[in-house]
Amino acid sequence: MSRRRRARLKALLIWLLSIGVVVVLLAAAGLWAVNFFKPAPPPLSVGCTAAVGDGTYSLAPDQADNAALITAIAVRRGLPARAGSIALAVALQESKLRNITSGDLDSLGLFQQRPSQGWGSQEQIMDPVYATNAFYDGLIKVGDYESLPITDAAQQVQRSAYPQAYAQREAQGKAFASALAGLSPAALSCTLDTPTAAGNPGAVVSKLEMGYGPVRTTTAGSSVVIEASGTAGWSYAQWAVANAAALNITAVSFDGEQWVRSDNADGRNRGWQPSTAPAETVTITLPTPQP
């Protein structure tokens, strides 16, 4: 091969190599631009749902937390599911199931009870346990509340200026009451962010007993185990899911089903899934402390 041809070949190779480098650089720049300008994923749509019958109803995690307490107190008192349904419908209408510090005139708390009407002091009414028991104390005085339309039963307790408004919350209240009382197994699920702190088994037991009263529990490491079966077991299990955001609960298992928080972290609510969980104990799992 002549010197001139070798020079031309060398120049061609250098040119091809240069083109290759340019193509690689352009591809890298394009990939960077795509990633840089790609919109961020939407924030996780956190919340809890109760799917009962043909309806599915939603609450924010803090609302579900309060719904769980109201229903637990009904269970503790041995009240029928209708009582919990009425209480939740009233609290949804009056306060959106939030323990608010203000309202019409001197109304306060979950049920917007008024100190001036004999419901108790401001401090008492702002205690959700006191307020819920006060509502049930009034409700059980309505002898036929189980058979009355919700507007009539609620109005005899609340004396609201707009009693018909309670009816629009009836289906939602009934669904969450049914799940949280354990009458609708595996019906309540929550989609939540990843917990940012370790759980506290003692806090779980304390809050559990604040609603239900004494419960047979044991703690094993980062788990709380409740001895229960049937309807009671499902009530405790779904209470735990409703409280998962506040108590950093990562999983709940009972009676061949389990709810796992991380299963729902991508925004898709997968709900309860089959498992080997026994039918005699509810297991509540918490994140372990980091060393």
Report the candidate in 88, 169, 91, 154 with the shortest Cα–Cα distance to residue 125.
91
Give me the tens of pLDDT residue by residue for the chain, a chain 291 residues long.
566 666 565 655 565 565 655 454 555 445 444 443 444 444 447 899 999 999 999 999 999 999 999 999 999 999 999 999 999 999 999 999 999 997 778 899 999 999 999 999 999 999 999 999 999 999 999 989 999 998 899 999 988 767 788 899 999 999 999 999 999 999 999 999 999 888 999 999 999 999 999 999 999 889 999 999 999 999 999 999 999 999 999 999 999 999 999 987 666 778 999 999 999 999 999 998 655
- Asked if residues 126 and 108 have their Cβ atoms less than 8 Å apart, the reply is yes
pTM: predicted TM-score of the whole model, two decimal places: 0.83
* Tokens of residue 209, six digits: 């007993």
What pLDDT score does 180 carry? 98
Per-residue pLDDT, 264? 77
Q: Distance between CA 11 and CA 60 in Å, rounded?
A: 69
* pLDDT of res. 41: 40
Domain range annotation of the chain: 47-180, 193-285
Which residues lie closer than 8 Å to 239 by C-beta, 6 or more apart? 68, 71, 72, 180, 208, 211, 212
The pLDDT score that the predictor gives to residue 286 is: 96
Sequence-distant contacts of 219-223: CB under 8 A, at least 24 apart: 221/288, 222/198, 222/285, 222/286, 222/287, 222/288, 222/289, 223/283, 223/284, 223/285, 223/286
